[in-house]
Amino acid sequence: MRNIRLKLAYDGTDFVGWQEQANGLAIQSVVAAAIEKITLEEPVLMAAGRTDSGVHAVGQVAHFLTESCIPAERLGFGINALVPDSITILKADDVPLTFHSRYHAVRKRYRYVIDNARCPLPFLKRFSHHARNRLDVAAMQRAGLELVGTHDFRAFETQYPNRDSSVRTVLDLTVQRYCNWPISMSNGIDPGPPSEQGDWVGIDIVADGFLYNMVRCIAGTLLEVGRGKWTPDDVLRILNTRDRRIAGITAPPQGLFLVQVDYE
């Protein structure tokens, strides 16, 4: 028995998310079907994060067990030949049988991308959220720092009450402008140096785990700070109330990317 780890990138626009669902096509289903064609085995394919409908990835990690003797690199090439162009296996390798892509992840990094140009670029509308008026990125950064640390993020999830705790630890949160498109396929997080003159805004959140729609809820709240509606003190107040109704909107999914998953 072997354990194969996959690193994936995908355009989530036309999918209902990573996880198999009854209401549409899931990325998990498409990749698993390709693996089955190659190995003649029905895989149990698990991922580090269950990205939602319309959400993208450049650093998703998944794994599956197989009895196949096909080298991991060739498995990756074979999957790429069978899946649509919107999905790419960036790397495939053998890992210990004990490895689990979800349970062994120690932190994940998401980036929410905002096109802050006066007129949005039409060919990137699938991969960013447009905010027409110039955002106060410095204020958004100050407000984001209020969320760093271990907190109950109930005000920033859309599926409460849930079976688990709403407490998570945000290890880092940064908001910066970029002149270049802020997603790099080389490692997901290197768009070049920040620039105050840039029209792209990236909201980066690194945490030990995320609640349902947590990043999009935080992004929607920070957008209100950037527009001058709220202050950093308002964000702290919203966090402490634990009331989803008074936080910002759930920002649209097309701006969200899972860019990196870290393991010990």
Per-residue pLDDT of the chain (264 residues; tens, 9 = 90+): 999 999 999 999 999 999 988 889 999 999 999 999 999 999 999 999 999 999 999 999 999 999 999 999 999 999 999 999 999 999 999 999 999 999 999 999 999 999 999 988 888 999 999 999 999 999 999 999 999 999 999 999 987 666 678 999 999 999 999 988 888 755 445 556 666 788 999 999 999 999 999 999 999 999 999 999 999 999 999 999 999 999 999 999 999 999 999 998
- Beta strand 129-130 with 105-115: parallel, antiparallel or unpaired? parallel
| Cα–Cα distance, 137 to 226 (Å, whole number) | 6
Quick one: pLDDT at residue 52? Answer: 92
The dihedral over CA atoms of 148, 154, 159, 162, expressed in degrees to the nearest 10, equals: 110
User: Residue 15 corresponds to which amino acid?
Assistant: F
Which of 11, 14, 52, 94 is an active site residue? 52
pLDDT at 208: 94
Q: Is 206 helix (H, G, I), strand (E, B) or coil?
A: strand
Inter-helix orientation angle 72-82/27-39, to 10°:
120
DSSP state of 28: H
Q: Name 66's bridge partners.
A: 2
What is the model's pLDDT at position 7? Answer: 97
Q: Please provide the size of the chain in residues.
A: 264
Q: What is the pTM of this model?
A: 0.93
pLDDT, residue 146, reads 97
Beta-carbon contacts of 194 under 8 Å, excluding residues fewer than 6 positions away, are 176, 177, 178
What are the structural domains, with CATH classification, of the chain? 2-95 (3.30.70.580), 106-263 (3.30.70.660)
Active site residue 233: no
Alpha helix stretches (DSSP H) within 60-194: 72-82, 137-145
